[in-house]
Structure 1
Amino acid sequence: MEKEKTKFLFNKSNYTLLIIGVVLNVVGFLLMIGGAAENLDDFNADELFSPVRLTVAPILILLGYIVIIFSIMKKPKITKDPNSTEN
């Protein structure tokens, strides 16, 4: 009886890129949160409209989604099995 090798849709590089994309998204969303005032009558415009929250965080989130989409669309390299009898 011949054993069938299961082929995975992703390989190690796909999973690595996927994890990098998810980490970029999480970091971007973590940078975006915050800015809440302790007192509802206080308004801190410097904290609410900081450049990190308005530019850096969305760029990181966008890059994260691009990396995730690339990791899903990337085709794994096909390696030939030396024990295979197929031509």
Structure 2
Amino acid sequence: MDKKELVFGEKNFILLAAAIVVIIVGFVLMAGGQTIEGAGRFDPSIFSFRRITVAPIVTLLGFALVVYAILFKEKE
């Protein structure tokens, strides 16, 4: 084995980059819910379907894709 040879192949890095993008999208979907200083009002939009259900699922899929990208081995 040559010292210059990487442990991961090109497809591993592509999958890892895609997983990072999916995780970022999940966190962006979770973002929001700004507060109005001094208004004292409760904003119920923080409990939207997108923030409570969709965003965590997308984020977990991204983390699962990271695991798959690490374990993926190309057939020789």
TM range (shorter): 0.7 to 0.9
Matched-pair identity in %:
38
Under a length normalisation based on structure 1, what TM-score does the superposition of the two structures give?
Answer: 0.76
Larger Rg: 1 or 2? 1
2:54 corresponds to which letter in structure 1?
A: V
Q: After the TM superposition, which segments of 4 or more aligned residues of structure 1 sit over 3 Å from their partners?
A: none
Give, in whole Å, the separation in 1 of the partners of 2:41 and 2:34: 9
Match of 2:11 in 1: 13
Q: Offset at 1:18?
A: 0.2
Give the aligned residue type for 2:42. F
- Give the number of the structure with larger relative contact order, counting CA–CA contacts within 8 Å between residues 6 or more apart: 2
Q: TM-score, normalised by structure 2?
A: 0.86
More helix by share: 2
Alpha-carbon distance, 1:74 to partner? 1.1
Q: 1:67 maps to what in 2?
A: 65
State the one-letter code of the partner of 2:43: N
CA contact (8 A) 1:28 1:60 kept: yes
Computed over aligned residues only, the root mean square deviation of the Cα atoms, in angstroms, reads 1.6
Structure 1: stretches of 5+ with no match in the other structure? 79-87
